[in-house]
Amino acid sequence: MRYMQMKVLEFKPPALRQWLKLTKVTRDRIDSRLMEFMKSGTGDVTRLRGRSGSRLRVGDWRVLFEDDGQTITVYAVGHRRDIYE
């Protein structure tokens, strides 16, 4: 039997403020995709070009994060039109 340890999720303060401004429905959608990625490493995740980190796409919403293997550190959450500025 193979055991996988789930990664730890942490938010930088600006990302937490962005997260709390989202509607509950949007947070729930993003949260389920984040949990799926944390458990299995699957999802619509792409490495960012021109800067470090990755992005998780959930419809029109994006989560920008760093993954060091043990911890996923979210540093931005927002709509696709605003997140890359």
The residues near 39 (Cβ < 8 Å, ≥ 6 apart) are 4, 6
Pick the residue with more confidence: 51 or 26?
26
pLDDT above 60: residue 4: no
Pick the residue with more confidence: 9 or 7?
9
CB 44 within 8 A of CB 57: yes
Using CA atoms, how far apart are residues 45 and 63, in angstroms rounded to an integer? 9
Kindly report, residue by residue over 48-76, the tens digit of the pLDDT. Answer: 998 889 999 999 999 999 998 889 999 99
8-79 sits in which CATH class? Answer: alpha beta
pLDDT above 70: residue 85: yes
**Domain residue spans in the chain?**
8-79
